[in-house]
């Protein structure tokens, strides 16, 4: 082998080593440059501290990815439905005055869409029946539901992976551009955890920033007072299920909608397989209740007036009827004025700031 050939070979080897070294350094620099920006969740002073997942800290990058996914119709089989299609901000992220939401191909769901806010207080499960333990678990459910998005997670991953912008968003959020269902769920969990509602008139009164009208104040007293047959103090007994700062105990309860022979949806029992859970559904928060109709898990009541009348005179007995509801099963005989006052108080729970917060809107 002559010296010229030896020189060429040696030079080629050195060049190859240099290129490999350069590539390794570039990869190292990318890893070193990856850094997320922590997001501090702020809640109004009259609300308890949020309970946030320790294994999924909020970051601006994770929230941005979650927001993109929340409004992404590519997650559905035919590209027509996103989470935002069934959860509208002006209605506290429920569906717009619909008993049941419409999924792909015009398919209609079988339960009323639930609102999304203050999810950091929900520690006992998600969906009406509580079948999802964590918010991240709930976030993936609609994708494979045949009545909602009708898609497979595998197909969704492939579609997102093929898009440069999504690979970039995943890298920004997690330091790796590979799309996975877990990363999707963590990002959507982060985005939904930023939905804070705590600036209603009720909250402002609590903070000394506003005052109730006489009717609203009477309604509050009814709401937080025990119902006692024949007693001097009138109460509507609402606080047993809705007394917390989030106006829900987040438990699963039978509120007397149907007698046992009328059960069509077994609620939590469909998940737990326990007859003692028959017709039990998650207690929804009453925050923003004036804009989240129709009401109940099956959207059977179109107005809040109908809801109030249900508890006033429409309770039906069954073996799993909640003990607190059982106490008013024979009717509370609220006067028209009392029902009007109770409605006035419920209207003070509407949070216009949350309903119009630009941070939650689709860009």
**Domain ranges in the chain?**
60-197, 213-347
Q: Topology of domain 213-347, per CATH?
A: Cytochrome Bc1 Complex; Chain D, domain 2 (1.10.760)
* Separation in Å, CA 30 to CA 23, 27, 235: 11, 5, 63
Partnered with residue 252 across adjacent β-strands are 282
Domain 60-197 CATH superfamily: Cytochrome c-like domain (1.10.760.10)
pTM: 0.89
Per-residue pLDDT of the chain (363 residues; tens, 9 = 90+): 554 444 444 444 444 444 444 434 433 344 447 899 999 999 999 999 999 999 999 999 999 999 999 999 999 999 999 999 999 999 999 998 899 999 999 999 999 999 999 999 999 999 999 999 999 999 999 999 999 999 999 999 999 999 999 999 999 999 999 999 999 999 999 999 999 999 999 999 999 999 999 999 999 999 999 987 666 778 999 999 998 999 999 999 999 999 999 999 999 999 999 999 999 999 999 999 999 999 999 999 999 999 999 999 999 999 999 998 988 988 999 999 999 999 999 999 999 999 999 999 998
Report long-range pairs for 98-103 (Cβ below 8 Å, ≥24 apart).
98/294, 98/299, 99/294, 99/298, 99/299, 99/300, 100/299, 101/148, 103/76, 103/145, 103/146, 103/147, 103/148, 103/149, 103/150
Q: Do domains 60-197 and 213-347 have the same CATH topology?
A: yes
Taking phi first (over 0 means left), then psi (-120 to 50 degrees means alpha), and beta for anything else, what does residue 36 get? beta
Which of 243, 212, 244 lies closest to 344, judged by CA? 212
φ and ψ at residue 154, rounded to 5 degrees:
-60, -45
């Amino acid at each position: 082998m002559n010296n010229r050939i030896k020189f060429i070979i040696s030079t080629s080897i050195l060049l190859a080593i240099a290129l490999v070294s350069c590539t390794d350094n570039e990869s190292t620099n990318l890893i070193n440059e990856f850094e997320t920006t922590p997001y501090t969740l702020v809640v109004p002073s009259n609300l308890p501290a949020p309970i946030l997942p320790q294994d999924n800290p909020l970051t601006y990058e994770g929230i941005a990815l979650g927001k993109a996914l929340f409004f992404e119709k590519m997650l559905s089989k035919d590209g027509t439905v996103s989470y935002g299609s069934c959860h509208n901000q002006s209605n506290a992220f429920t569906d717009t005055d619909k008993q049941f939401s419409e999924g792909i191909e015009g398919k209609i769901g079988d339960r009323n869409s639930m609102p999304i806010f203050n999810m950091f207080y929900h520690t006992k499960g998600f969906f009406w029946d509580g079948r999802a333990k964590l918010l991240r678990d709930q976030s993936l459910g609609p994708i494979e539901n045949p009545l909602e998005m009708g898609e497979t997670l595998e197909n969704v991953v492939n579609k997102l992976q093929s898009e440069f912008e999504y690979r970039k968003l995943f890298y920004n959020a997690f330091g790796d551009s590979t799309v996975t269902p877990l990363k999707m769920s963590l990002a959507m969990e982060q985005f939904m955890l930023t939905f804070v509602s705590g600036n209603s008139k009720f909250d402002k009164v609590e903070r000394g920033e506003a005052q109730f009208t006489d009717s609203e104040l009477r309604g509050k007293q009814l709401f937080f007072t025990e119902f006692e047959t024949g007693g001097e103090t009138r109460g509507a007994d609402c606080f047993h299920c809705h007394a917390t700062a989030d106006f829900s105990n987040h438990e699963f309860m039978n509120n007397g909608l149907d007698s046992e022979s009328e059960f069509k949806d077994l609620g939590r029992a469909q998940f737990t397989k326990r007859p003692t859970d028959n017709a039990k559904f998650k207690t929804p928060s009453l925050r923003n209740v004036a804009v989240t109709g129709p009401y109940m898990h099956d959207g059977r009541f179109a107005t809040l007036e109908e809801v109030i009348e249900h508890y006033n005179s429409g309770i039906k007995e069954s073996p799993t009827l909640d003990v607190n509801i059982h106490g008013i099963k024979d009717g509370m005989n609220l006067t028209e004025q009392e029902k009007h006052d109770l409605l006035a108080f419920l209207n003070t729970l509407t949070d216009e700031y949350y309903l119009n917060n630009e941070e939650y809107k689709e860009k």
